[in-house]
Amino acid sequence: MHSVAVPSSFIYTPSMPQPVFVVDQFGNHQLVYTVPPPQPVVFVPAPLPTHSDYHVQTTPLPDTVHPLLDPLRSPLCSHTASSSAGFSHKHRGYRWERDMDLDAMTRRNGGTIMHAEYVDKMNYLCKINNQNGFEFDRALLNLNAIRNRFLDEDILELHGLQRKLATDVLKKTVCEVQKGLRPKKLYLCVGQGNNSPTGESVIKRDVIDKAPLFGYSCRAMKGNRGVLVIEFP
């Protein structure tokens, strides 16, 4: 008898041996058990990761050192999605373009996933997707939405998403602006294209190209080439 190792992502349910009466050469009846052929293996996709699957470590509040004077703390805007449930009008039309410390913004809004942790988890999901060929679009969007939930309503992270997903998030955001759920001036974090063969962010190029379609003006943020400023009429 031999056994076959079955991956944990598969479910294999063997059938019970079946009793059968047979007659031997002497005319005696015997009860024997036959083992049926193996049942088909059923593939069950692993559940997508959720926020509860991550062990979130709370980042301590910043001290009196100003983030602009400490380059090691809270990197500037770099990485993805949309999750606004209505925006506070106190942010309408206001954003100093040098005020882009997303970690400080996350703490102020009650969030716990900081920039470094978000990037690590996003890269991990992309690595799984590339190696195993599974579709992790929903997982990427979930992580992205968790991150964006605690950013101000005029900030949208897109860097880290695949191009198609970033476009879908942009479409959703345009609808939110039209419904008055977001301000008409938004700051999109699209990345600097450090890993791009051309040295330019693919998402950044896509956002610029779609400006006529979605009806917004677009310009680069002064002093931060990883951020685009879009504004609706």
pLDDT averaged over every residue in the chain: 70
Q: What is the DSSP letter of 202?
A: H
Region for residue 199 given its phi and psi (left: phi exceeds 0; alpha: psi -120 to 50; beta: otherwise): left
CA distance 9 to 150: 34
pLDDT at 111: 92
- Averaged pLDDT for residues 7-20: 44
pLDDT at 31: 57
If one counts every other C-beta atom within 10 angstroms of the C-beta of residue 142, the result is 18
- Type of residue numbered 5: A
pLDDT in tens, 110-143: 999 998 998 899 888 888 776 665 567 888 899 9
pLDDT in tens, 46-69: 444 444 444 433 333 333 333 333
CA distance 164 to 105: 27
**CA distance readout (Å), 131 to 6, 16, 116, 134, 136:** 20, 37, 23, 8, 12
**CA distance readout (Å), 154 to 18, 139, 147, 229:** 67, 24, 14, 10
Give me the architecture of the 51-231 domain, per CATH. 2-Layer Sandwich (3.30)
Could you give the percent of the chain with pLDDT greater than 90? Answer: 34
CA distance 33 to 131: 44
CA distance 202 to 192: 9
CA triplet 59, 63, 69: central angle to 5 degrees?
105
Q: Please say if the pLDDT value at position 8 is more than 60.
A: no
Closest to 2 (Cα-Cα) out of 38, 41, 32: 38
Contact in structure between 42 and 119 (CB atoms under 8 Å): no
Question: Going along the chain, which residue ranges are E strands?
Answer: 10-11, 18-23, 29-34, 42-43, 155-157, 185-189, 217-221, 224-231
- Rounded CA Rg of the chain: 27
Give the ranges where the chain is alpha helix by DSSP (H). Answer: 102-108, 115-132, 137-149, 163-178, 202-209, 211-214
pLDDT band at residue 186 under the 50/70/90 scheme: very high
pLDDT band at residue 198 under the 50/70/90 scheme: confident
